[in-house]
Amino acid sequence: MPPTRGRPIAIKLLILLIVPLTSLVGLWAFAATLTGGDGLRLLEINDLVTNLADPSEQINVELQNERLASVEFLTTKRGTTQLARQRAQTDKAIADFRKLAGDQQAISSGMAVQLRALYDQLDALPAIRRQVDGGNPAPLDVIDGYSQIADASFRMYDAMILMPDMTLYRQARAVTMLGEAKDLLSRERAIIAVVLDRGKATPLERREFTGMVATRRLLYTQALSHLDSELRGPYEQLVSSPAYREFMRAEDAIMGQATTNGLPATAATWPVDASNLWTAVDRNQRQAVREITQRVTPTAVNVLIKIGVAGGVGLLAVLASILLSLRFRGRLVRELAGLRDAATELAEVRLVALVKRLRTNVGAPTPDELPPLEVKTDTSEVLDIVQAFNNVQATAVTAALSQARLRHGVSQVFVNLARRNQTLLHRQLLQLDSMERGAEEPETLGDLFKLDHLTTRMRRHAESLIILSDQAPGRGWRNPVPIHDVLRAAVAEVEEYPRVEVLQPPPVSLVGSAVTDVAHLMAELIENATLFSPPQTRVDLRTTITPHGVIVEVEDRGLGLTRVELDELNTRLAEMPEFDLAQSDQLGLFVVARLAARNGIKVTLDVSPYGGLTALVSLPADLLADQPVPA
């Protein structure tokens, strides 16, 4: 039997198990996703390098060349063709970058922000070129404009190299720092071109140049300390090379005497020294980037292998935990379901059958009639509950037997009192009938009629007690009785009978065995109709023949009842509830229900078109007599 209220224990146990199992699965999934995501991100770096890093690096190279060419054009007013050719190369690099970057799908939110910032800086390039072509801008402003584009690309590199492997991350970060140092070297070359053309450096140029030199040397020092021996070797050779020492002497000269004493005689070789160093730095940078990229795939494969092994073992542990939890859950659910079924059978079958039997036989139940509950279980708590239910069963049987005997005793008291009253009232009716035949004065005859009517009503109330005790009244008819006479007899047992109008019924008769019950049932309904309607209104009785019998309608013009109250009353009339002494104010309802159930009659209450109630009494065809009503 499925549960009718609340959540079943299976769902509650499942919810109880879901919490630790979900936590275990969540931890496993988190670890697998975290580690597996690290491996996948490492594999995605190849795409990022191909679509973002390499094209943007090419843009930086072209912009560095264009910056130098633009500064030389501003200082010498020569090199227009070379500048135009360099701009074309820069534009081609930018176009390639935009195309490849647009095809790249898997980028993080931080990467997207930095990429958008780089786009914004690239959009400012035409304005820088217009300054170079149309005006006389300060060379430092032009250098700074190109430098902002390079800085945006390096910020994008920083977001790109957020690798999960710390060793690889430190190497990649150091290579990026060397790339920034390379761009600072490009800026120094541009300032050197300005200083050589003027013959000395202004204080502002000297200050800017000094900051570039200090930053470049610091980046070299930090980057080389983080690189491993394989990546650091070419740079150590470069730092100890004559070209690097010559360029450092040029830097020292510009930072020292260039603003006061002019340029030294060796200044003529500065462009050559810078070009030689630039070529070596560019070669080392490309090699370092290529080696870092080649290390990414093996690292990612190692990470994925580790997560595969650890994740597989963890998954087996999670599955084992789930299977064991579900197995114990299933066993406990089966035991509790068996206990529920046994308790349900006790409550809805055994005890119900016992109560039904005790209505007619108040003897103690036999062991076969109420055997103890038996549930197949290995759980001690469930066994304790079974024993508790057996104790409850014994207590409930004792209480039900005691109540049945009490009700039987009360019923016997009702029957004895009602029989005595019935006998006295019958004798009283005979005496009144004799007095009515001998009375001649109209006033005396009217008073006797009133006493006769009052005695008839008292007899009906006595018969109600007999009916509530599941006994049959003493009155009965052998021959069929016209339904018109039955209805008039029912009206005669109502106090306010003058208000009741019996419309002409069809010519049918009731079998004699049902006359007393139908008359009593109709009297109870007619009396309720007169009691709960205004005194000046009338109560109508209509009778209609149907294919299944006869329907009698009792219609009043009272205040009526709500739909909820009507549904409750109709339920009681249909189910024939057990008589409750606490509801003695609804005595007529119990009597009607008992009589209707005894004769197969259906009684329904509904709203009347006049605002009151209509009681529909459906008399089945087997209560109707075959012979027609005598004329």
Q: Which of 254, 269, 299 is the last residue of a domain?
A: 299
Distances (CA, A) of 136 to 68, 79, 126, 208: 16, 16, 16, 20
Q: Which residue, chain included where needed, has tokens 């119990």?
A: 590
Asked whether residue 32 is domain-assigned, the answer is: no
Asked whether residue 35 is domain-assigned, the answer is: no
Asked whether residue 528 is domain-assigned, the answer is: yes
pLDDT at 630: 54
CATH number at residue 605: 3.30.565.10
How far apart CA 281 and CA 238 sit, in angstroms, is 8
CA atoms within 13 A on the CB side of 331: 9
CB distance 560 to 622 below 8 Å? no
How far apart CA 129 and CA 175 sit, in angstroms, is 30
Asked whether residue 570 is domain-assigned, the answer is: yes
- Give the list of residues 6+ apart from residue 28 with CB closer than 8 angstroms, or none: 311, 314, 315, 317, 318
CB distance 623 to 510 below 8 Å? yes
Beta-strand relationship, 500-502 and 539-546: parallel
Asked whether residue 340 is domain-assigned, the answer is: no
Q: Exposure string (b/e) for 595-630, b if CB count within 10 Å is 16 or more?
A: bbeebebbbebeebeeebbbbbbbbeeebbbeeebe
Q: pLDDT per residue over 357-398, tens digit each?
A: 666 666 666 666 667 766 777 677 777 777 777 787 777 777
Burial of 140 (0-12, 13-18, 19+ CB in 10 A): buried
How far apart CA 276 and CA 245 sit, in angstroms, is 12
CB distance 346 to 373 below 8 Å? yes
Q: Exposure string (b/e) for 332-359, b if CB count within 10 Å is 16 or more?
A: bbebbbbbbebbeebeeebbeebbeebe
CB distance 449 to 475 below 8 Å? no
Domain housing 447: 359-475
Q: Which residue, chain included where needed, has tokens 């739909």?
A: 563
Q: Which of 248, 265, 299 is the last residue of a domain?
A: 299
**3-state SS, residue 511:** coil
CB distance 93 to 55 below 8 Å? yes
How far apart CA 250 and CA 196 sit, in angstroms, is 12
pLDDT at 92: 92
Residues 402 and 481 in one domain: no
Asked whether residue 331 is domain-assigned, the answer is: no
pLDDT at 173: 81
Residues 266 and 410 in one domain: no
Residues 464 and 490 in one domain: no
Residues 66 and 147 in one domain: yes
* Number of C-beta neighbours around residue 571 at 10 A: 10
pLDDT at 88: 92
Residues 113 and 259 in one domain: yes
Query: pTM here?
Result: 0.46
Residues 192 and 261 in one domain: yes
For residue 347, the 8-state DSSP code is I
Q: pLDDT per residue over 599-630, tens digit each?
A: 888 998 888 888 788 889 999 988 888 755 55
Residues 574 and 428 in one domain: no
Asked whether residue 7 is domain-assigned, the answer is: no
- The two structure tokens encoding residue 226: 């983080």
Q: Which residue, chain included where needed, has tokens 């176009």?
A: 95
Residues 501 and 559 in one domain: yes
- Which residues in the chain land under pLDDT 70? 1-21, 23-25, 27-47, 49, 105-106, 135, 160-166, 257-263, 265, 296-315, 318, 329, 355, 357-370, 373-374, 378, 400, 403-434, 436-441, 444-476, 576-587, 627-631
How far apart CA 300 and CA 165 sit, in angstroms, is 9
Residues 286 and 396 in one domain: no
- The two structure tokens encoding residue 51: 């679509």
Residues 68 and 128 in one domain: yes
Residues 394 and 267 in one domain: no
Distances (CA, A) of 628 to 489, 507, 617, 624, 631: 20, 7, 21, 10, 9
CB distance 410 to 359 below 8 Å? no
Asked whether residue 351 is domain-assigned, the answer is: no
Residues 411 and 548 in one domain: no
CB distance 292 to 9 below 8 Å? no
The total of structural domains in the chain comes to 3
Q: Which of 267, 282, 299 is the last residue of a domain?
A: 299
450 CA to centre of own chain: 72
